[in-house]
C-alpha cells in the first residue's frame, strides 16, 4: 500500500475470505479502499457430478455483495465427490453431458451472484478417451450458452500443451479471445513422467518462463490488452520480485493499448 509501483489491482482466493470477520476481512476491506479487487474461486466444483454446494454459494454471494469486486472467476474443474472435498482441480471429459452440467452450474452461479462470471481453462496432465470435442470448442460453447466470460490462463495452456503434445499457439489462435475478461500468468515446475517425457506441474511457485511470456505477447497481439494477473501462491518471493513480473506484463500490455 505504501509503494504499489506497477500493481494496479489485486486478486484474492475467495475461500480465504468467507469467514464472518477477523483480520483477513479487515485487511481485505483496507486493500479494497485502494485497489480494484478480483475474486477467484477454487472450491465451487463447477464440473462436479452433484449440485453446487448451496452454503458455499451463499457465502460467495455475501462476499461479492459487500466487496463489489471487479470480477469473479472459477475453474473448469471438479473437486468434490459425495460429501468429500478434494484439494485438487481435477479435469473433465469434454462431452455433451459434461457440457450441459457445467452450463447448468454456471447459470446457477451467475444467478446467485447477480453478475457475469469468468471461467478459467485448466492445466491438465491427461485427456479422457471419451471426450468428443477439444477444449477450445468446449469452452467456446460454454461461453455461448451461458453468456459467461473466460479467464485465459496462459501458463495453463503451455503446461497442458507440453504434457499432451499439442500446439499452444494453435490453441490460442482458436480461442474465443473476445470472451476473455482476464488473463493469468504463473510459474510451473518441471518434471518427467514414468516414460521420461517432460511433465510440467502448474505450481504457482516460480517466475513466469520465457516461452509463456512469448505466448502471452501473442495473445495480446491477437486479442488486445486484458487485465493480467501474476499468480504466485507458493514460495512467495520478496515484493520487488513480484513487482518486476507485473512490470514485465505491463510492458507487453502498454504498447498494444497505446496503439489501439
Structure-derived torsion over alpha carbons of residues 247, 250, 254, 260, reported in degrees to the nearest 10: 180
Q: What is 10-259's CATH superfamily?
A: Divalent-metal-dependent TIM barrel enzymes (3.20.20.150)
The structure's pTM equals 0.94
Asked whether 119 and 142 are in contact (CB, 8 A), the reply is: yes
Does position 20 have pLDDT exceeding 70, yes or no?
Answer: yes
- Please list the residues that pair with 40 across neighbouring strands: 13, 73
Asked whether 85 and 79 are in contact (CB, 8 A), the reply is: yes
- Residue spans per domain, the chain: 10-259
Residue 83: its pLDDT value, please? 72
- Return the CA Rg of the chain: 18
Residue-wise pLDDT for 117-161, tens only, equals 999 999 998 889 999 999 999 999 999 999 999 999 999 999 999
Residue-wise pLDDT for 59-73, tens only, equals 999 999 999 999 999
Buried b (16+ CB within 10 A) or exposed e, 221-246: eebebbbbbbbbeeeeeeeeebbebb
pLDDT band at 7 (very low <50, low <70, confident <90, very high): confident
Amino acid at each position: 500500500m505504501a509503494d504499489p509501483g506497477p500493481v494496479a489491482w489485486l486478486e484474492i482466493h475467495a475461500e480465504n475470505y468467507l469467514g464472518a470477520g477477523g483480520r483477513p476481512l479487515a485487511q481485505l476491506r483496507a486493500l479494497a479502499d485502494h485497489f480494484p479487487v478480483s475474486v477467484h474461486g477454487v472450491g465451487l466444483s463447477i464440473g462436479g457430478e452433484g449440485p453446487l454446494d448451496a452454503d458455499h454459494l451463499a457465502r460467495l454471494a455475501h462476499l461479492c455483495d459487500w466487496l463489489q469486486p471487479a470480477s469473479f472467476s472459477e475453474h473448469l474443474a471438479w473437486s468434490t465427490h459425495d460429501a468429500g472435498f478434494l484439494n485438487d482441480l481435477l479435469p473433465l471429459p469434454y462431452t455433451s453431458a459434461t457440457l450441459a452440467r457445467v452450463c447448468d452450474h454456471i447459470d446457477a452461479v451467475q444467478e446467485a451472484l447477480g453478475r457475469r462470471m469468468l471461467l478459467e481453462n485448466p492445466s491438465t496432465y491427461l485427456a479422457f478417451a471419451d471426450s468428443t470435442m477439444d477444449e477450445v470448442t468446449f469452452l467456446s460453447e460454454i461461453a455461448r450458452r451461458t453468456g459467461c466470460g473466460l479467464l485465459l490462463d496462459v501458463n495453463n495452456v503451455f503446461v497442458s500443451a507440453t504434457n499432451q503434445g499439442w500446439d499452444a499457439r494453435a490453441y490460442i489462435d482458436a480461442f474465443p479471445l473476445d470472451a476473455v475478461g482476464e488473463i493469468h500468468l504463473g510459474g510451473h515446475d518441471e518434471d518427467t513422467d514414468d516414460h521420461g517425457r517432460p511433465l510440467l506441474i502448474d505450481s504457482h511457485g516460480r517466475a513466469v518462463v520465457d516461452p509463456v511470456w512469448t505466448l502471452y505477447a501473442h495473445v495480446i497481439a491477437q486479442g488486445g490488452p486484458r487485465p493480467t494477473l501474476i499468480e504466485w501462491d507458493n514460495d512467495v518471493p520478496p515484493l520487488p520480485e513480484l513487482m518486476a513480473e507485473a512490470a514485465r506484463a505491463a510492458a507487453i500490455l502498454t504498447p498494444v493499448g497505446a496503439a489501439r
